[in-house]
Each structure stands twice: as structure tokens, then as C-alpha cells.
Amino acid sequence: MKRSKKTDDDTAAFERALAGKPTDEEYLLRLFVTGTTPRSLRAIQNIRAICEEKLLGRYRLEVIDIYQHPDLVKPEQVVVTPTLVRKLPLPMRRLIGDLSNTDQVLVGLDLIPKGGGKRT
């Protein structure tokens, strides 16, 4: 069976993360939303702005509407939306809400330490 380039890229990034090799850490993010509700749209807008400001060229964001892809909810253990899942770099993290608290999102993505010092 032939593997896709996306699968190969994900596998390589996962293996680099496990090995602890510096890679300018590529972030693989999945945002689970419920349709086009105001809260979902705010979460999409907020995470895109954060990624463009802090992770330019180092991230892949997948927005997943759970109404269109209900099969993806259970494996990711999503029980509330919006939920942002950071798949890479490891360890995996989950953030819940519309992501409007930028500092909290940056801490959750491990872009700044919990004490608030800048790390980007």
C-alpha cells in the first residue's frame, strides 16, 4: 500500500519529536469546531492570528467541523468544542474554548513558559 506524502511528513515530524532533535519545531494543530457558530468562527480567527504572529511558516492548522467529520471526534477524545489539539511537537496538548485569551493559548502551546516570559 502506497503512503501519502502527508503521512510521511507526519511520521518524520513525529520521529524527530521523539528523538528530541531540534527542528525549529513544526506545530501540527487540529481545531475541532461545530459548524459556523460565532464561537467556532472566533476560535478559528484567534488561532490563525496567533499562528501567523508566532509560528509563521512552522505550523499546519487543520480545522475540523465535527458535523462534517464525526468520525474524527472519538479518536481525539473531543467532548467540547471548540477544542484545539496540538499533535506536534510532543507532548500532545488540548485547549478548550474560543482561544481569545492569547497568553493562555501561548502557554498552552508551550510558546511561552507558564510564568509569562517570552520563548517564541
Q: Which residues neighbour 86 within 8 Å (Cβ) at sequence distance 6 or greater?
A: 27, 28, 29, 92, 93, 94, 95, 108, 109
pLDDT value for 21: 44
pLDDT value for 113: 83
Say if 14 falls within a structural domain: yes
Residues 18-50 have pLDDT tens digits of 554 445 789 999 999 999 999 999 999 999 999
Q: For residue 34, what are the domain limits?
A: 5-108
Residues 82-108 have pLDDT tens digits of 999 999 999 999 999 999 999 999 999
Tally of helices (H runs) and strands (E runs) in the chain: 4, 4
Say if 115 falls within a structural domain: no
Say if 117 falls within a structural domain: no
How many structural domains compose the chain? 1
Q: For position 28, which CATH number holds?
A: 3.40.30.10
